[in-house]
């Protein structure tokens, strides 16, 4: 019975890690496309929200690390963050090689189209990865700081307090480095920073019920007490 429980704990950890890595790699692959939508804001009116599509899967990474931190602890969360960085670097290497080889004359995607979509600035992407790594480690550390301070209570506090601060650091650092390396024009910095940070703050609050449901379900499933974590 204990062996089956351990297998379920390991299986969940692998699934959460896979979702985290897939979301992170997707962010770095699709970030060059930007979109705009009209949002109505009370007392202000319609506002044109402009942002990279790479932002869409990004809040998932912080939700997943918070769940892993809550169920498996700080060490496992940090391991997943490092795994995500390694996967992103490997992805960058593969894309760089694929961009370097010449397409055949009959290839549906020629050299120009591939380079336009995937010909990422290696320096810019690597810099954004380092900014992400810094932000994720801050998120994990702050999550456990609030968890210890509240003796494992007030899930909403550690979920939002850790994510909002780390997202501020991440959004500023990534955009600063992308502008510095020429991937994005400096004139777009503040609008993209404001939009990106507010988007992440909104989803940090929006995913709180999801975090509550997941945390309570898995704690009950694995018979965890308050402030207790799974040991793999």
Q: What is the pLDDT along the chain (232 residues), one digit of tens a residue?
A: 556 677 889 999 999 999 999 998 888 788 778 888 887 777 777 777 777 888 888 788 888 988 998 899 888 988 998 898 889 888 888 888 998 899 999 999 999 988 888 776 666 667 677 777 777 778 778 877 877 777 777 777 777 777 778 778 878 887 887 788 777 788 888 888 888 788 777 777 788 888 888 988 998 888 888 778 888 7
E strand or H helix at 45: strand 45-52
Integer Cα distance of 75 and 155 in angstroms? 19
Integer Cα distance of 139 and 135 in angstroms? 6
User: Is the pTM for the entire model greater than 0.75?
Assistant: yes
**Domain 2-221 adopts which CATH fold?**
Arp2/3 complex 21 kDa subunit ARPC3 (1.10.1760)
Cα atoms in the 13 Å half-sphere on the side-chain side of 103: 12
| pLDDT at 107 (0 to 100) | 92
Cβ atoms of 175 and 193 within 8 Å: the answer is yes
What count of other Cβ atoms lies within 10 Å of the Cβ of residue 210? 14
Cα atoms in the 13 Å half-sphere on the side-chain side of 203: 16
Q: Where are the domains of the chain?
A: 2-221
Q: In 3-state terms, what secondary structure has residue 52?
A: strand
Q: CA nearest 16: which of 75, 80, 78, 90?
A: 80
């Amino acid at each position: 019975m204990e062996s089956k429980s351990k297998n379920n704990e390991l299986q969940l950890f692998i699934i959460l890690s896979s979702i985290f890595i897939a979301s992170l790699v997707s962010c770095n692959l699709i970030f060059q496309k930007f979109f705009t939508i009209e949002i109505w804001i009370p007392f202000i009116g319609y506002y044109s929200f402009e942002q990279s599509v790479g932002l869409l899967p990004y809040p998932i990474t912080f939700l997943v690390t918070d769940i892993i931190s809550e169920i498996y602890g700080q060490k496992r969360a940090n391991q997943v963050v490092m795994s995500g960085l390694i996967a992103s670097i490997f992805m960058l290497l593969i894309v760089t090689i694929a961009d370097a080889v010449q397409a055949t004359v009959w290839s549906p995607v020629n050299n120009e189209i591939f380079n336009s979509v995937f010909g990422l600035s290696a320096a810019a992407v690597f810099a954004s990865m380092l900014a992400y790594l810094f932000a994720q480690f801050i998120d994990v550390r702050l999550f456990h700081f609030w968890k210890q301070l509240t003796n494992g209570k007030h899930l909403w506090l550690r979920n939002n307090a850790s994510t909002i601060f780390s997202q501020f650091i991440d959004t500023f650092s990534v955009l600063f480095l992308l502008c510095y390396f020429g991937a994005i024009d400096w004139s777009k910095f503040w609008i993209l920073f404001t939009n990106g940070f507010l988007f992440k703050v909104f989803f940090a609050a929006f995913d709180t019920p999801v975090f509550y449901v997941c945390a309570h379900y898995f704690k009950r499933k694995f018979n965890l007490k308050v402030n207790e974590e799974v040991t793999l």
